[in-house]
Chain A
Amino acid sequence: MANMAQAIRLALHYGEKNLGVTDIFGEDVGAPLGGVFTCTQGLKTTWNTPLDERGIVGHAIGLALAGQKPVAEIQFCDYIFNTIDLLKLAGNSCWSSNGQYPLDMVLMTPHGAGIHGSIYHSHSFDAWATRLPGWKIVIPSNPLDAYGLMLAALEDPNPVMYLAPKALLRSKGKEKIPGEPDEAELKKAIDAPIGDRQNWEPQWPAIQRHLQPLGKAKQVRQGNSATIVTYGRHVQMSQQVADELSSKGMGEVRVIDLCTLYPYDWEAISKAVLETGKILFVNEDTEITNFGEHLLRRVIDEHYYQLKARPRVLAAQHVPGVGLAPTLEEATVPQKKDIEKAITEILQERT
């Protein structure tokens, strides 16, 4: 089974071959490294940039203005903060030019905690990203969706930000990408060898088009007792919690993987509230002015009288960073036990 980094690589290869991708670039994105998470190894249009995030985002905008189809990478989302005004500009180019200059570009960046990343490799960006009108924002939770969301992002004519959960980039999924060979064969075909890579060339498998459409959530677990709406690395955690609660006879919790944060799938959320009456939003960005808060506000605005329990947001603590010591990280970003506690309270709440 492909891991998420391989899935992204396959999607970018598909994009180069079939969707007109012209440039894949960023710090250490080109040869020899192919990205610090290997997401861009062996691709045809990759190149290394100066260590300059503003330059990278600016360049992506410029290439898109010139009608190219760039995919830029910020090495870790922890280092995207100095580009925020350029991200605003990318988001307003089409609107402020009254439709003249839509920007067909993808910006990808590893996101979130969970890799013992200390203060500057554990940031999340979803709360900031969803405050950038004009962008579409996606975040996969498994390799197949990583592939499908990247293809959807590449096919979309707007700026799309692709948040790749750092903690999942090396993890494998349960479903194959259409056309994906066996694991060993895939590795041999597309992973760069350790050591001298100068003469190495990948043997791309004949993978096929597969989309996870932008704006569509996935219901990854059935259930009518309560709902967890989440994304990224908290999808799997939430599924596990729900399975355990089910085996304890505590109810069937529906789990929704949002996949696209903007435009988010309101229909799926709304339906879940109407059918379960109980809802928990889980993510790992800091909790003050958090994207989950927006979703919660909307649930209250539109479904107050259909709620059977207090709706909640479980997010990271409002602290300046995620501490390196496992005790600190666990106390800061939501863990499985925190999800379990929050959803159990919701399940047990009397109506």
Chain B
Amino acid sequence: MSYPAQPFKDKEFARKFYELMVRSRVLEEKLIRMAKSDDGFFWIGGPGEEAFNISLGLQVKKGHGLEHDFLHLHYRNNGTLLAMGSPMIDFIRQMKNSKNDPFSGGRNFVSHVCKKEWNVVPATSTIETQYSVSPGTARAQWRARQQGKDAGVTIVVGGDAGSAEGDFATCLIWASRPEQELPMLIIVTNNSYGISTSAETQHGEKNVSDRGKAFGIETLVCDGNNPERIWSSIEKGLDYVRGSGRPFILEAKVSRLNGHSSSSGANRVDEPDCIEIFERKLLKNAWITEEEISDIRKSAQAEVNKAHEEVRKEPYPDAGTFQDHTYADGKRGGIPGRDF
């Protein structure tokens, strides 16, 4: 995908970016309401990370196979998929554990995305394990590059608290083996909390990404609430990885606008909001009017409501399918000679 060299100097682009941010926020708000009204069991997601998610989603080399980027996502990245082109209804289906949930067939929590068509590998609840797994897809791409083939890169995303797990160190070590450095954009979305525990009370390092320096990995810390900054930081990271075939760590400081999850109430908290920040800028530039802002919200609202109405009618997966796909080709698991 190509964008203007300075996308945020381009009115059309900026408006498109804003609209995606709003759609992503409205979607998350709907998901929260669903969790609060027995229309789903649990919510976790990414309000506050829209600037990051949309920037990432628009810059991914989307598709299936080694020549495209692999995405190992966190549970706050619905907006990334939305920006890549997933319809809102996909996420609502997962929230409702609908039989049509395209990510997990009604098996996983909302925001645990997976879309093979676009190299989006299963997002898992086990904090940080994606950092042990992602060097594997990166190695496959490294090999393709060695063979002179066109290859994408691997992108892994996770939180700050999770970086205390050994998997983070695994990622740094495996990504930086001498002569075999891996084409990976290693991202930490730092909201300075792990559920209720503040990073200050647990982490002595100034920046999580500083740990990459010991391995000679390029690092960058940026303000994830500023669309321009986060866009250009991701662009810089991706350019570097695509160009050099080496790893890059990007730490984005983000807000967590509705707390950790529905378990902590999912109520709005007082932290900087990237959408409000961007809105002020657009208004100041006279690139948008108050009325247009209201229209964008209304249309996103209508879109999400329509999707919700449709999903309401959808059943859970048939009980008889609970063992399906335990093995490849749809095969069931269970007790040999009884279940299959």
* Interface residues, chain A, with chain B CB atoms under 8 Å away: 22-23, 49-50, 52, 54-55, 57-68, 70, 85-86, 88-89, 93-102, 104, 133-134, 157-158, 215, 262-267, 270, 298
Q: Is the CB of B107 within 8 A of A98?
A: yes
CB-CB under 8 A for A215 and B107, given A62-B138, A67-B140, A89-B126: no
Say whether B262 faces chain A, with CB atoms less than 8 Å apart.
no
List 14 additional A-B contacts (Cβ < 8 Å) besides A58-B132, A61-B133, A65-B137. Answer: A54-B167, A58-B170, A65-B133, A66-B137, A86-B132, A89-B129, A96-B104, A96-B107, A97-B116, A98-B105, A99-B328, A99-B330, A102-B329, A298-B335
CB distance from B140 to the nearest CB of A (A): 4
Q: Is the CB of A63 within 8 A of B326?
A: no
In the complex, chain B residues 99-141 whose Cβ is within 8 Å of any chain A Cβ: 101, 103-105, 107-108, 112, 114-116, 121-122, 124, 126, 129, 131-141
The interface residues of chain B lying within 8 Å CB-to-CB of A102 are: 327-329
Contacting residue for B114 out of A55, A67, A89, A100, CB 8 A: A100
CB distance from A139 to the nearest CB of B (A): 16
Say whether B166 faces chain A, with CB atoms less than 8 Å apart.
yes
Contacting residue for B173 out of A50, A86, A133, A270, CB 8 A: A50
Chain B residue, CB-CB nearest to A90: B133
The interface residues of chain B lying within 8 Å CB-to-CB of A89 are: 124, 126, 129, 133
Chain B residue, CB-CB nearest to A294: B335
Bound: A23/B136 CA distance, A: 11
CB-CB under 8 A for A54 and B140, given A157-B328, A158-B327: no
CB distance from B154 to the nearest CB of A (A): 8
Q: Is the CB of A63 within 8 A of B139?
A: yes
Q: Is the CB of B170 within 8 A of A133?
A: no
5 A-B Cβ contacts within 8 A?
A: A50-B177, A63-B140, A86-B133, A89-B133, A98-B325
CB distance from A4 to the nearest CB of B (A): 26
CB distance from A141 to the nearest CB of B (A): 20
Q: Is the CB of A54 within 8 A of B70?
A: no
Q: Is the CB of A99 within 8 A of B133?
A: no
Q: Is the CB of A59 within 8 A of B328?
A: no
**Most chain A CB neighbours (cut-off 10 Å) among B66, B126, B174:** B174
Chain A residue, CB-CB nearest to B99: A98
Q: Is the CB of B326 within 8 A of A95?
A: yes
Say whether B333 faces chain A, with CB atoms less than 8 Å apart.
yes
Bound: A57/B132 CA distance, A: 8
Say whether B243 faces chain A, with CB atoms less than 8 Å apart.
no
Say whether B337 faces chain A, with CB atoms less than 8 Å apart.
yes
Q: Is the CB of B129 within 8 A of A62?
A: no
Bound: A319/B170 CA distance, A: 32
Q: Is the CB of B136 within 8 A of A66?
A: yes
Chain A residue, CB-CB nearest to B156: A62
The interface residues of chain B lying within 8 Å CB-to-CB of A88 are: 126
Bound: A265/B324 CA distance, A: 20
Say whether B320 faces chain A, with CB atoms less than 8 Å apart.
no
Q: Is the CB of A55 within 8 A of B108?
A: no
Q: Is the CB of B122 within 8 A of A66?
A: no
Bound: A23/B326 CA distance, A: 25
CB-CB under 8 A for A58 and B114, given A96-B108, A96-B122: no
Contact with A along B168-184 (1 / 0, CB 8 A): 00100110010000000
Contacting residue for A267 out of B101, B324, B337, CB 8 A: B337
Bound: A98/B133 CA distance, A: 19
Q: Is the CB of A65 within 8 A of B167?
A: no
CB-CB under 8 A for A270 and B337, given A97-B116, A98-B325: yes
The interface residues of chain B lying within 8 Å CB-to-CB of A49 are: 174
The interface residues of chain A lying within 8 Å CB-to-CB of B138 are: 62
Q: Is the CB of A68 within 8 A of B140?
A: yes
CB-CB under 8 A for A65 and B139, given A58-B167, A93-B122, A94-B325: no
Q: Is the CB of B337 within 8 A of A58?
A: no
CB distance from A250 to the nearest CB of B (A): 31
Q: Is the CB of A97 within 8 A of B135?
A: no
CB distance from B246 to the nearest CB of A (A): 17
**Most chain A CB neighbours (cut-off 10 Å) among B65, B105, B327, B330:** B327
Chain B residue, CB-CB nearest to A270: B337
Q: Is the CB of B104 within 8 A of A94?
A: no
Bound: A86/B166 CA distance, A: 12
The interface residues of chain A lying within 8 Å CB-to-CB of B327 are: 94, 102, 134, 157-158
Bound: A58/B325 CA distance, A: 21
The interface residues of chain B lying within 8 Å CB-to-CB of A298 are: 335
The interface residues of chain B lying within 8 Å CB-to-CB of A86 are: 129, 132-133
The interface residues of chain A lying within 8 Å CB-to-CB of B124 are: 89, 96
The interface residues of chain B lying within 8 Å CB-to-CB of A22 are: 140, 143
CB-CB under 8 A for A61 and B136, given A101-B121, A134-B333: yes
Chain A residue, CB-CB nearest to B323: A95
Bound: A68/B112 CA distance, A: 24
CB distance from A246 to the nearest CB of B (A): 30
Q: Is the CB of B325 within 8 A of A66?
A: no
The interface residues of chain A lying within 8 Å CB-to-CB of B140 are: 22, 62-63, 66-68
CB distance from A291 to the nearest CB of B (A): 13
Say whether B148 faces chain A, with CB atoms less than 8 Å apart.
no
Chain B residue, CB-CB nearest to A133: B333
Say whether B336 faces chain A, with CB atoms less than 8 Å apart.
yes
Bound: A104/B327 CA distance, A: 10
